[in-house]
Amino acid sequence: MIIVSDTSPITNLAAISQLDLLQKLYTSIIIPTAVYNEMVKVDKVVPGAVEVQTLPWIQQQTVVDSQRVIVIQENEENIDLGEAEAIALALELKANLLLMDERRGRIVASSYGLQITGLLGVLLQAKRQILIPSVKILLDKMIEKADFRVSKELYSTIIQAAGE
């Protein structure tokens, strides 16, 4: 199974010491160079930065078709380089799943026919597979520690879907 990830799922899970959920669910993930750079080549410490440099199950890969990245960014407002590269890499690799939280990026990825899940979907899947006891506890931690943003309506929907 080929899983490509944008920055947010990695940084948010790392912020609450739950990054290993991605390995337990997917065995390995691939990140494009721009996502790696968003985490590693910045002035401030970013949760997950050490992990993307050291964990063997997180693999960095360069997008071959850089023109596709340019087209995605030119055609879509508010798509950052990390999101554009994640979408392009998922298309190149014919990924089974793209991990992405940002609404605009998800809309674009969907328009290309990609299968997408975000962090909330990851938490629900982890609960279904009995990897975590509670979605609510981890979601509350992400909101508190990682400044994860979720509407009240979506929060309620996710907690209800988790049976909590």
User: pLDDT (tens digit, 9 = 90+) per residue, 139-157?
Assistant: 999 999 988 999 999 999 9
The model's confidence at residue 9, banded by pLDDT at 50, 70 and 90, is very high
Q: Judge whether residue 107 has pLDDT over 80.
A: yes
The model's confidence at residue 162, banded by pLDDT at 50, 70 and 90, is very high
- pLDDT, residue 10, reads 96
- pLDDT, residue 14, reads 96
Secondary structure, 3-state, the chain: CCEEECHHHHHHHHHCCCCHHHHHHHCCEEEEHHHHHHHHCCCCCCCCHHHHHHCCCEEEECCCCHHHHHHHHHHCCCCCHHHHHHHHHHHHHCCCEEECCCHHHHHHHHHCCCCEECHHHHHHHHHHCCCCCCHHHHHHHHHHHCCCCCCHHHHHHHHHHCCC
Mean pLDDT within 59-73: 94
- pLDDT, residue 136, reads 96
- Which residues, at least 6 apart from 40, have a Cβ–Cβ distance to it below 8 Å? 46, 49, 52, 53
Question: How far from chain centre, in Å, is Cα 74?
Answer: 22
Q: Judge whether residue 108 has pLDDT over 80.
A: yes
Q: What is the pTM of this model?
A: 0.93
More confident residue, 43 or 135: 135
| Arch. (CATH architecture) of 3-119 | 3-Layer(aba) Sandwich (3.40)
